[in-house]
Amino acid sequence: MRFWSTRGAHETDFIGAVSQGLAPDGCLYVPEDLPRFDPNDIQGDSLKDIGTRLLAPFAAGSPLAPDLRALCGQALDFPVPLVSVDKGRGPLWVLEVFHGPTAAFKDVGARFLAAVMERSLPLLEPEDQRPLTILVATSGDTGGAVAAAFHRRRGMRVGVLFPAGQVSPRQKHQLTCWSENVRSFEVNGTFDDCQTLVKSAFTDPSLNMRHRLSAANSINLGRLLPQVVYHAAASLWHWRTEHRPANFIVPTGNLGNALACIWARAMGMPIGDIILATNANRVLPEFLATGDWQPRPSIQTLASAMDVGNPSNMERLRHLVPDFGDLRSSVEAYPVSDAAIREQIARDYERLERVWCPHTATGFNVYDQLPQARCTEASWIVVATAHPAKFDNIVEPAAGTSVPVPASLAALLELPSRYESIDPDLAVFSDMLDQWR
């Protein structure tokens, strides 16, 4: 399979799309055609089996094609349970994608990306001995997952950029507890400033002459594809027992997780309606309501990993569904305020004895606002994106209870924190990259 930038100016193969991250024209890579499957043809129940089948067309013709099953096994080796939830409104499940090493769904994509890049590196330019420098802008969870996935991998180093004062204390510790081949940069600005800095680095000719750069945000196809797998798997698990498609509610900020669900449906998976839950950064709901795309500076909310004012993957979504009328009929999006997030956490702990992270709470809040008929007539799956213990400063006061810390997260919280503060200035950041030894 070949991959093109969304403006059609650049073409590459699977390894090229993953290793570059961002196309040279500043656009995102998309497959020339999304493969289409019959759900009956997807065998097996494990994420490894389903992922190997679904991703095979993307790796077809690549030197990595024979390794795909092993790559899926490395990335998808922790539980992603689909758990029934009784809210008394209709058939409802939660897809828990937070049981990985850093307790967030970002572990899936980060681990797959790291495994692919490690195997790709010797195939790119063997004579080039420079390390591959992976830059990742994060609004909370991505950076920690990428740092964990790439830590101590040979030939690669990671620069994590996160906005000052806009991540939870435990998130910040996960972003800054690394050493050796990982450096963390606290940017005096918003997530959008971090993302702009990364994109500017990729499109700076001089910087790219001096460094081998790649991206690990959801702008990288290698992050996005494994996220398609767990949405597809959940839809298949449900379909095999309930014999009808499931509707999905996906909390989203940069639109990576959302696009993965939309791609899974476009690839033939038994997925019905898709609703996107956002926080008070309303650019996506407003676009779908008016047709007017107006990116803006992000605002800080309790669901910090979704604090995005200019979602990068909108470029891929509009490439997939270029007609606004078609797009508007294929997906919905609703914003959730901080007050509603707190209320949802408290209400669901009282009624269900379940504690959600602030991001997952946006999904359940959207579900609770649906007309009763929509809940009765169809099954719904809410995607739970992070473990609530990562947001103890928000969750515990709202729920009125303490949240046990998973062992993997507890181990990271014991490590020392180290980071550097920088302004969102490309010249300053370039100097720091040049001095990295």
Q: How far is CA 88 from CA 84, 85, 292, 340, 385, in A?
A: 12, 9, 37, 20, 23
Give 93-104 pLDDT, tens digit per residue: 999 999 999 999
Tokens of 111: 């681990």
Q: Is the pLDDT of residue 8 over 90?
A: no
Give 155-165 pLDDT, tens digit per residue: 899 999 999 98
3-class SS at 271?
strand
β-pairing verdict for 156-163 and 132-137: parallel
| pLDDT at residue 215, as a whole number | 79
Q: How far is CA 153 from CA 111, 119, 254, in A?
A: 12, 11, 27
Give 358-414 pLDDT, tens digit per residue: 999 999 999 999 999 999 999 999 999 999 999 999 999 999 999 999 998 899 999
Residue type, 99: H
Instruction: Tell me the fold of 78-105+222-403.
Output: Rossmann fold (3.40.50)
Q: State how far the Cα of 98 lies from the Cα of 79, in Å rounded to an integer.
A: 9
Contact 107, 100 (CB under 8 A): yes
Report the share of the chain in percent with pLDDT over 70: 100
Give 279-322 pLDDT, tens digit per residue: 999 999 999 999 999 999 889 999 988 998 999 899 999 999 99
267 DSSP assignment: T
Q: Work out the angle at residue 14's Cα, subtended by the Cα atoms of residues 10 and 20, and round it to the nearest 5 degrees.
A: 60
| pLDDT at residue 108, as a whole number | 94
Residue scoring higher pLDDT (144 or 397): 397
Q: State how far the Cα of 222 lies from the Cα of 231, in Å rounded to an integer.
A: 16
Contact 309, 333 (CB under 8 A): no
Per-residue pLDDT band for 9 (boundaries 50, 70, 90) equals confident
Lowest mean pLDDT among 186-195, 215-224, 237-246: 215-224
Which residue, among 149, 158, 211, has the nearest Cα to 419 in the 3D structure? 158
Place of tokens 């050796």: 180
Contact 29, 17 (CB under 8 A): yes
Q: How far is CA 416 from CA 79, 143, 177, 243, in A?
A: 28, 17, 6, 50
25 DSSP assignment: T
Please give the mean pLDDT across all residues of the chain: 93
| pLDDT at residue 127, as a whole number | 72
Residue type, 328: R
Q: Is the pLDDT of residue 218 over 80?
A: no
Q: Is the pLDDT of residue 139 over 80?
A: no
| pLDDT at residue 405, as a whole number | 94
- Report H helices in 309-391: 314-320, 324-330, 338-352, 358-369, 372-377
Per-residue pLDDT band for 74 (boundaries 50, 70, 90) equals confident
Q: How far is CA 391 from CA 167, 190, 307, in A?
A: 9, 19, 15
Which residue, among 252, 10, 214, 262, has the nearest Cα to 113 in the 3D structure? 214
Contact 149, 40 (CB under 8 A): no
Q: Is the pLDDT of residue 11 over 90?
A: yes
Per-residue pLDDT band for 73 (boundaries 50, 70, 90) equals very high
Q: Is the pLDDT of residue 210 over 80?
A: yes
Dihedrals phi, psi of 346, to nearest 5 degrees: -65, -45
Q: State how far the Cα of 140 lies from the Cα of 32, in Å rounded to an integer.
A: 32
| pLDDT at residue 51, as a whole number | 97
Per-residue pLDDT band for 44 (boundaries 50, 70, 90) equals very high
Tokens of 143: 């950076």
The full set of domain ranges for the chain reads 78-105+222-403
Q: Is the pLDDT of residue 128 over 80?
A: no
Mean predicted confidence (pLDDT) in 139-150: 86
Contact 200, 426 (CB under 8 A): yes
Q: How far is CA 352 from CA 91, 155, 172, 378, 393, in A?
A: 15, 47, 30, 21, 21
Torsion sign (Cα): 382, 384, 388, 391:
negative
